């Protein structure tokens, strides 16, 4: 199963949700891979403890290779040689790198938008793949959406997020129609949810009334998230008995029942 976590709005918790769901998948015994397609590299740092400086061991290498196919039948490299082990059993990451940014225009002009999908289809040995994306519909987020089976949409509870969601749903419909007819919107993950506050409850009720696929499991705000970022440990390892960890476990269970 290949999942992409995507929203065109920044600061909604994409990297946090990606890494914590992947970590739970790994703890439950599934060999799990995280692809960090966001140039900021937050998922890379969360799982490895630092960003990767050598671009030859990151997604930048993979996309460079896709631009350098020779005229005599040579093929671009796959993903196997840029996979990093994390400190956590069964959990692996393909890091991001700043060199992805200057590559983007060349990749777009050469129409390499399907290369990630092709490479992931050839990659063996992983029961789950999670893809973190930049907060914009660019070449890298589109590549992930084309490569994915399912899409999770993080939503933080404010009015700006609600307006952005309508544009996002249209963008996803276009990607599905044009490039990936099998893409399924798995659901909206409500993040930073305070059930005692009026505005979050009102916004969620509005989304449900409009027919949006809001998942039942919601993620509360907590300082534990920032602490786990600082320690480079997903919550299932940093605070396994915390309420927030249980919320991520519930979310993981819900999406794997769908």
243: number of Cβ within 10 Å: 10
209: number of Cβ within 10 Å: 8
What CATH number does the domain containing 45 carry?
A: 3.40.50.300
Q: What's the domain count of the chain?
A: 1
Domain that holds residue 142: 2-257
What's the confidence (pLDDT) of residue 214? 96
What whole-number distance in Å separates Cα of residue 252 and Cα of residue 190?
13
Q: Give the model's confidence band at 72: pLDDT under 50 very low, under 70 low, under 90 confident, else very high.
A: very low
Rounded to an integer, the average pLDDT of 237-244 is 98
Rounded to an integer, the average pLDDT of 194-213 is 89
Is the pTM higher than 0.75?
yes
Rounded to an integer, the average pLDDT of 110-123 is 97
The residues, any chain, with a CB within 8 Å of residue 56's CB and separated by 6 or more, are: 82
111 Ramachandran zone, left/alpha/beta (phi>0; psi -120 to 50): left
What does the mean pLDDT of the chain come to? 93
Q: Give the model's confidence band at 225: pLDDT under 50 very low, under 70 low, under 90 confident, else very high.
A: very high
In this predicted structure, the answer to whether residue 76 has a pLDDT above a threshold of 90 is no
What whole-number distance in Å separates Cα of residue 237 and Cα of residue 3?
22
Rounded to an integer, the average pLDDT of 149-174 is 88
Q: Give the model's confidence band at 258: pLDDT under 50 very low, under 70 low, under 90 confident, else very high.
A: low
Q: 10 to each of 52, 57, 153, 250, how far by Cα in Å?
A: 22, 26, 12, 24
Rounded to an integer, the average pLDDT of 41-45 is 98
Rounded to an integer, the average pLDDT of 208-222 is 95
The DSSP element (H or E) to which 65 belongs, if any, is helix 59-67
What's the confidence (pLDDT) of residue 161? 73
In this predicted structure, the answer to whether residue 210 has a pLDDT above a threshold of 80 is yes
In this predicted structure, the answer to whether residue 73 has a pLDDT above a threshold of 70 is no
């Amino acid at each position: 199963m290949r999942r992409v976590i995507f929203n065109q709005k920044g600061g909604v918790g994409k990297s946090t949700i990606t890494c914590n769901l992947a970590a739970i998948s790994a703890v439950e015994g599934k060999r799990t891979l995280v692809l960090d397609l966001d140039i900021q590299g937050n998922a890379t740092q969360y799982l490895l403890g630092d960003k990767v400086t050598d671009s030859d061991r990151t997604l930048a290498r993979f996309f460079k290779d896709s631009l350098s196919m020779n005229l005599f039948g040579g093929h671009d490299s796959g993903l196997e040689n840029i996979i990093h082990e994390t400190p956590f059993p069964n959990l692996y990451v393909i890091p991001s790198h700043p060199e992805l940014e200057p590559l983007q225009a060349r990749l777009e002009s050469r129409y390499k938008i399907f290369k990630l999908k092709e490479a992931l289809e050839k990659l063996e040995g992983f029961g789950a793949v999670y893809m973190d994306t930049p907060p914009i519909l660019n070449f890298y987020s589109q590549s992930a959406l084309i490569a994915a089976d399912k899409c999770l949409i993080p939503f933080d509870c404010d009015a700006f997020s609600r307006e952005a969601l309508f544009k996002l749903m249209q963008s996803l419909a276009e990607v599905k129609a044009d490039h990936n007819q099998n893409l399924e919107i798995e659901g909206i993950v409500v993040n930073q949810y305070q059930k005692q506050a009026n505005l979050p409850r009102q916004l969620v009720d509005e989304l449900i009334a409009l027919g949006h696929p809001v998942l039942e499991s919601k993620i509360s705000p907590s300082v534990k998230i920032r602490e786990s970022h600082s320690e480079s440990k997903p919550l299932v390892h940093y605070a396994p008995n915390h309420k927030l960890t249980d919320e991520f476990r519930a979310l993981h269970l819900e999406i794997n029942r769908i």
